[in-house]
A and B are shown apart, each in its own frame.
Chain A
């Protein structure tokens, strides 16, 4: 831990002493020492059952590796909200800095602004009302303390989700004009649908090829199809996180490459069959 971080934590705990009175007012005292998830839930169920309910509905609570209160907020009550509002709370579990999920955001305009300005932000403020110049992960995905992260993430990449778009629309409007948001959302969906077309084109080809060739022969084709899945995800991340690079070089042209390589492999198998 750098000295800079230590000072930051100390400063934040000081600030929390001033600002945390609201959240603790329910029974008048904040618990001290190391806390576990059950202890958090026990209290917060009484204070804010909506919030704990949201978390129970979320992918965080339903995933095999449970992402509980402590995972994001840490084990100490001091600065618990401040810790969870910052991108560092999310990055490690979501694959680290180089993972497309994180990198597509980190290289977006929102991401680079947060990187440059994080130390100037007042992280004691709620994630709403444009309290932050640029949104971190939690600002959009846990807007106004929404603890069900799943409402802002599409469950099936092959399907359009109006609900997710509506959730995001409410967030973007803190800073962007309504018409701009609508057009951006529409365009993102159209861009993703084009990527889906490439995937469906390949799936139809593979389905046909599966009736002609053995699984062993198809193996390199299936491997290419697996890569294609990531490129499809990249388009979605690029549109969602507004990273031109993920929409494009890691996305659409990468899918074009998968498509033509799979066509090439199938053509060759067919030619070999004819000989």
Chain B
């Protein structure tokens, strides 16, 4: 009797799985790229950050050229490119290997040139490319998933594309090796130094540059780095102090994601899961290149404590905001402000996004000042403290914690004020002539996403 109807769920599965694949495929087939490709069109400049999806060769020059011919012309047209190449290993290969010319990476046909993506580099540098692709197994944050995660972010889809070009400049690390080995020298030594990372790893949400340079490791680098032999591999005994890459890409492995425990500090994680226990051992072993292993393990426990303390503060702020939300006291209310990125004005359930799992990452504009205060507390103050703790910069831990305390205080004070003001509760009716829905940028954003 029971097995008679087994075909029903089976049939549903058989239909649903291909349908799901078809839907994802369909969503990705729009003018833009990624899961929401049907909701946006690219700026022309996107060709350089995401060549796989958007690059088209120039057709101003016709014909097929040899490597030598490329060099001959381009040393006049773009001499910097050729100067760089002449100094590179590509131009001066070791052990009788052939010279790698422009055409080997860009193609011979000038009307069909392409930008070298990691796949192109990987055709020679297979080990590094394999390691880089392997990052995907460990999820985000990682270099190899950076571009697709950026393009799938709700605010990326929602905002005018000339504005969010800024995102792609860093997140294109997934589509170009020269983010770290700048063109056209493509030096390994350059990428070993911390400066290679800081153009992207800086600023309020990830002050990796400041926290590293403040740390003892960074201070040693600043004092002595000029004298270190950067041609050496990132292995035990080769450097008196570690750089970004020494720890995050140990032994030159092109894999920054396999050891991540706290996932950039964006959400609370259990640092003691079985997977994370393995990663902790990897870190302790790595620190053991220079430090006593028990001491290293204690540093990780201190980082656990810092995370726990930060999340207590963040959750307290979240609960203040959630209480206001359930009492309809957040102003502007969901229906008085432009819809949350990715929603439309007639979305069935419109509500304020509070906390990581509701999409806090896109809740930094078109929200109430209080929500923005929380965004900054979560994304700037919290991460300041986290990066300080992770990189050994006590000053940033102290500042980050103090700023979180301050933000929490302000959020609580404002919440009390809102309750005391005994305001008329916000109804679901749309308000006409409302400043939150009008204005030059607000309307432009609405029309141009």
Contact = CB atoms under 8 A, between A and B. Distances in A.
Interface in A178-217: 179-180, 183-184, 186-187, 190-191, 193-194, 197-198, 200-201, 204-205
A183 B44 contact: yes
Contact of A119 (B196, B226, B331, B444): B226
B213 to A, nearest CB: 11
- Interface size class, chain B: 35 or more
A174 B441 contact: no
B386 to A, nearest CB: 16
Interface stretch (A68-76, A78-86, A251-259): A251-259
Given A129-B79, A130-B80, A267-B332, A260 B368 contact: yes
Interface stretch (A21-29, A37-45, A110-118, A158-166): A110-118
Among the interface residues B196, B203, B368, which one has the most CB atoms of the partner chain A within 10 A? Answer: B203
A94 interface: no
B81 A175 contact: yes
B200 A201 contact: no
Given A201-B442, A267-B332, A261 B369 contact: yes
Nearest to A270: B435
A231 to B, nearest CB: 12
Nearest to A115: B195
A260 B44 CA distance: 30
A201 B439 contact: yes
A253 to B, nearest CB: 5
A266 B435 contact: yes
A107 B209 contact: yes
Contacts of B368: 260, 264
Contacts of B421: 271
A173 interface: yes
B440 A204 contact: yes
Given A116-B193, A173-B78, A191 B166 contact: yes
A257 B376 contact: yes
A238 interface: yes
Interface string B370-389: 00100010000000000000
Interface residues of A, number: 56
A133 interface: yes
Interface in B153-211: 160, 162-163, 165-167, 169-170, 182, 185, 190, 193, 195-196, 198-200, 202-205, 209
B151 interface: no
B423 interface: yes
Nearest to B227: A4
A119 B35 CA distance: 46
Given A112-B198, A113-B182, A245-B202, A263 B78 contact: no
B334 to A, nearest CB: 14
Interface string A142-178: 0000000000000000000000000000000111110
Given A179-B58, A205-B435, A238-B166, A108 B372 contact: no
Contacts of A184: 45
B219 to A, nearest CB: 16
B45 A187 contact: yes
Contacts of B435: 205, 263, 266-267
A179 B43 CA distance: 14
A134 to B, nearest CB: 8
Contact of A252 (B47, B81, B166, B331): B166
Given A173-B78, A174-B78, A187-B162, A133 B376 contact: no
**Most chain A CB within a 10 A radius of its CB, from B196, B204, B372, B435:** B435
B80 A174 contact: yes
A248 B423 contact: no
A250 to B, nearest CB: 7
Contact of A253 (B182, B364, B369, B439): B364
B41 to A, nearest CB: 14
Given A107-B209, A244-B169, A245-B202, A261 B372 contact: yes
A236 interface: no
Among A119, A186, A253: residue with most chain B CB under 10 A: A253
A261 B209 CA distance: 29
B142 interface: no
Nearest to B48: A180
A200 B84 contact: no
B436 interface: yes
B369 A247 contact: no
Contacts of A52: none
A204 B439 contact: yes
Nearest to A202: B439
A222 interface: no
A138 to B, nearest CB: 16
Given A107-B198, A194-B160, A260 B365 contact: yes
B131 interface: no
B93 to A, nearest CB: 20
B173 to A, nearest CB: 11
Contacts of A197: 440-441, 444
A116 B190 contact: yes
A80 B307 CA distance: 53
B50 interface: no
A129 B82 CA distance: 11
B167 A248 contact: yes
Contact of A194 (B185, B423, B439, B444): B444
B165 A191 contact: yes
Contacts of B77: 173
Given A116-B190, A200-B440, A186 B160 contact: no
Contacts of A248: 166-167, 203
B366 interface: yes
7 contacts: A112-B196, A115-B195, A130-B80, A260-B365, A260-B366, A266-B435, A267-B436
Given A176-B80, A267-B436, 12 more contacts: A130-B80, A174-B80, A175-B78, A177-B78, A194-B162, A245-B199, A253-B364, A256-B365, A257-B372, A259-B365, A264-B368, A271-B423
Nearest 3 CB-CB pairings of A with B: A175-B80, A130-B80, A190-B162
